[in-house]
Chain A
Amino acid sequence: MEILKHVVMDHFAQRRNWLTNIEVRVKLFYIGIGLILNILSNDITLPLLFFVISLILLMTIKVSFITLGLRMMMPFLFGIFILIIMGLHRGETVIFSGTLLGYELAFKKEGLQVGLLLFTKVAGGVMLMLLLSFTTTITKICMAARWMKIPETLIEVLSFVYRYLFLLIEETETMMSSQRSRLGYVTWFKTIKSFGSLGGTLIIRSIIRAENAHIAMVSRGYDGGRVLTVQLTPLAGRDYALFLSCGLLLTALSYLGFFW
């Protein structure tokens, strides 16, 4: 649970630094286009460039490697899994083979190349999203989403997910502590049983919590309208300059990635 809490903590986005001060729409423009280019790339150069640039930008606002590592852990593990699977099952040219537990395993060059491309795309894409999450609060993202005319219902759901994610973690932690203190995790069988009852209880509690939240919202006049109120400030000259700079940067990166 500690790792999970560390992963979802958002205190970096609440800090004041040069990256958090950048207008959210500029950041969404850069990161949105960056993600598209990352996915379309057919070479590892562009994803790696996105990875490195995002990493450098995050280091300027003193985000620790441990924090980054914890947040990247799951996607990286997934990327490594894809790399291995691709290497084993795709291609013809065997570059390495061996036996494991009686099974013949052969890594092929073409498969590893595809796997590596996918791995770097995962790394580049995740690092771009981390750049957004470390420097932008959810409220600003929702405000920008409204400016982009994304349906209000989706924005509502996004804000609720953010709000109740932390509550869910807290409730889970409380129940797990309670189970642990009553020897709920001393054996594998008991662990599975405890997880089962934890999951079921969380579902019931979520339904009750949702009902209570709805009652509270109705008693404050809610009838399906918008949940969030705060507005974005109008774009200033500095923001337009940043838009232009991001556009030029993305063009340069595309040239390097696609045509170099």
Chain B
Amino acid sequence: MFKIKVDDLIHKYPDGTQALSGANIDVKEGEFLAILGANGSGKTTLLKHFNGLLKPASGSVTLDNKALSAFKSGEVFRKVGMVFQDPSDQLIAPTVEEDVAFGPTNLGLNYDETMSRVNTALELVKMKEFAKKAIHALSYGQSKRICIAGILAMEPEVLILDEPTSGLDPDGVKTVMKILNDLNKKQGITIILATNSVDLVPVHMDRVAIMDKGVVLQEGTPEGIFTDSEKLNSLKLELPQIAQLMEVLRDKEKLPINPLPLTIGQARQELAHLFSREGDVRHADSILPA
């Protein structure tokens, strides 16, 4: 069953910028979808249509087979939560606790239930000990996690994130992606993530959609999408770094690598297979050119 269905979406900003030119995408329930695209491809605009923040000039968006316009005011936000790219845009309260409590309070929950949700959400993002901390005293990575907690406290069915790892150090990226992975695999939350960081995609996501010039060009599994590096380059994207290395080894060093590994784990297995323990040196000599 499709959780969100987008048909022929067209959106033009007041300054005349055509951000979406007939975008089509279907999001399955419980999947972890990445929307890949270069800057200006329309990713953020598309995401903002998923929860009705933007209204299309034409086309439709349905949630649970119901048009967004048919939902009562606030109902969509209850089901579909969005984490914006810049934490400063969405951290609005003086302290962490107050900010995470903002969403549940607006849902009309009583004080005890609100605080229970706050504690649970902070626990999920590993920030429970920061509950009383002032927002302005948080680091960038901590701010990003609190933004996620603020949406999780509303217990959404769908979580949309706009470039959640941008500006984070490698450890921060790992932490955020682990949180999202756990939310998807253990809690069953449908996650849609816009990014231009291709290395994350094959590690965590079930499906990828590639956008360019306001249109979804291609959808599929990472293995299916990351086969044509030339096409990706034409869209100002690249293969994951490890796949680039393996592609060079395949094309220039003529190593028999097929299919192209997309993650370090897959590359390790492939290389270990190529240089297997039995007859190591002889086997390696027979593969590598003189």
Contact = CB atoms under 8 A, between A and B. Distances in A.
Interface in A196-216: 209, 212-213, 215-216
A160 interface: yes
Interface of A: 10-11, 14, 137-139, 142, 159-160, 162-163, 166-167, 170, 209, 212-213, 215-223, 225-231
Contacts of A215: 53, 84, 89
Nearest to B133: A14
Contacts of B133: 14
A217 B97 CA distance: 16
Contact of A222 (B81, B98, B106, B114): B106
24 contacts: A14-B134, A162-B94, A167-B136, A212-B84, A212-B89, A213-B92, A215-B84, A215-B89, A216-B90, A217-B90, A217-B92, A217-B102, A218-B53, A219-B81, A220-B102, A221-B106, A221-B107, A221-B154, A223-B106, A226-B105, A229-B101, A229-B114, A229-B115, A230-B101
Given A137-B94, A230-B101, 9 more contacts: A212-B89, A215-B53, A217-B90, A220-B106, A221-B106, A223-B74, A226-B105, A230-B97, A230-B98
B13 interface: no
A207 to B, nearest CB: 13
Contacts of B95: 137, 139, 230
A219 B50 CA distance: 11
Interface in B103-154: 103-107, 111, 114-115, 132-137, 150-151, 154
B57 to A, nearest CB: 19
B131 to A, nearest CB: 10
Contacts of A166: 136
Contacts of B73: 223
A228 B134 contact: no
Q: How large is the interface on B (under 10, 10 to 19, 20 to 34, 35 or more residues)?
A: 35 or more
Contacts of A223: 73-74, 106
B184 interface: no
Given A218-B53, A221-B78, A213 B98 contact: no
A247 to B, nearest CB: 30
A13 to B, nearest CB: 9
Interface of B: 51, 53, 73-74, 77-78, 81-82, 84, 86, 88-95, 97-98, 101-107, 111, 114-115, 132-137, 150-151, 154
Contacts of A209: 88-89
Nearest to B73: A223
Contact of A225 (B88, B105, B151): B105
Given A139-B95, A163-B135, A221 B88 contact: no
A137 B94 CA distance: 9
Nearest to A216: B90
B49 to A, nearest CB: 12
Interface centre among B91, B103, B106, B135 (most CB of A within 10 A): B106
B111 A160 contact: no
B136 A220 contact: no
Contact of A160 (B89, B90, B92, B102): B92
Given A220-B154, A228-B98, A213 B90 contact: yes
B53 A219 contact: yes
A138 B94 contact: yes
Nearest to B85: A212
A222 B91 CA distance: 13
A167 B136 CA distance: 7
Contacts of B105: 225-226, 229
Contacts of A162: 94
A219 B82 contact: yes
A10 B134 contact: yes
Contact of A167 (B88, B98, B102, B154): B88
